[in-house]
Chains A and B, each alone.
Chain A
């Protein structure tokens, strides 16, 4: 029961992170950086 509660709590903060627009800015920049690295190699 307690484990279910914790899993739900974990899921909820992961969901909050994923719906935070601030999160996607670094993610997009990171993907862009990896692509750039691939291109210049």
Chain B
């Protein structure tokens, strides 16, 4: 009996570490996703840039799950919990509207004010996690201080970094920009309700994202058509032929980051997972400064701001990472999972197994079919064709730091991917 309890505790600790590592890997990949988009400096409208990235995201969200587990696993998940399709579509719609709002926010108030405003989504995530999913219940004041304090410190650090990395002049419509950034924050913070809902009822993150992307692409297409009109949109897409590859590559890299973010939300909850993956700002800045030379020739005070902001963000991350959920808090998570399972009539053993990162006893082993290979081949072909059409950007890049950052990002992918495989087999 005692040894079973010890095994449970050890398993729970492993999953916590896995969730934290997933959050940090998500930050690195989400930050790296900005790099290909920086190569695009032609006059394409922000709405079209966003739409093209979402098309890349769509391809990745179908081909990666097909490659990792196979679509049979997605179908099995949907049969067990069909209601999650609605939740995934809803989350995708929230993402698309939030992303569009950020375009307005950046245009009206600049990245320096907009980024910290929408990064405050982590605070909303903590609130929803506490209210709806028993997160941080019976966690004790130390963990509360670690998570809430860490998220606040990260927001301050993010503000410093954003001010340092921005050179935009104050715009004429500042209040409009503030509302847009706050709106994006609320939408993104609320988007994690469907995420957590899905993982508490056992859905695999790989299955969730395949439906999420329909909401994302559908809403983004509707917004782009309603803003620009069908014919002008098509003309802009055709005009951007030679940069399609870079933008879609950005979308693809973003999906890898988002997959790890999903695993973080699953294993450490949204209250901890969101702030950890918000370290993407730090990685984005590293790419900007070291590879694209964005702060070259600027004063020493700016570098002090950047270093100070980065240290604050790392401090916040450390505070959250060391505030992992205790046994009591985890038993409250399980209560929430039981409640969801009963509500949606999902078998308890399946929910428990999936919460534990295992395959349920009566679950068939996932396998890949010809359809999966077709999906992977199709997505690869699209990327290869677009790569042949792509124009190599005429800009000076520092290849040394780029190679280092790529290596660090790949190491995180390999380490976290291998750990996910060993511990959960991606369940």
Contacts and interface: CB of A to CB of B under 8 A. Distances in A.
A36 to B, nearest CB: 5
A1 interface: no
Contacts of A32: 183, 186
B100 A37 contact: yes
Contact of B179 (A13, A14, A40): A40
Contact of B343 (A14, A16, A34, A36): A16
Nearest to B86: A17
Nearest to B192: A26
Given A26-B90, A29-B187, A36 B193 contact: no
Nearest to B104: A40
Kindly state the interface size class of chain B when it binds its partner: 20 to 34
A30 B97 contact: yes
Contact of A29 (B83, B94, B132, B344): B94
Contacts, number: 67
Contacts of A40: 101, 104, 176, 179-180
A16 B101 contact: no
Given A17-B83, A26-B193, A26-B194, A36 B91 contact: no
Nearest to B191: A26
B190 A29 contact: yes
A26 B194 CA distance: 8
Interface of B: 82-83, 86-87, 90-91, 93-94, 97-98, 100-101, 104, 128, 132, 176, 179-180, 183, 186-187, 190-191, 193-194, 197, 223, 227, 343-345
25 contacts: A13-B83, A13-B345, A14-B83, A16-B83, A17-B83, A17-B86, A17-B87, A22-B132, A22-B193, A22-B197, A26-B193, A27-B90, A29-B186, A30-B93, A32-B183, A32-B186, A33-B98, A36-B180, A36-B183, A37-B97, A37-B183, A37-B223, A40-B176, A40-B179, A41-B227
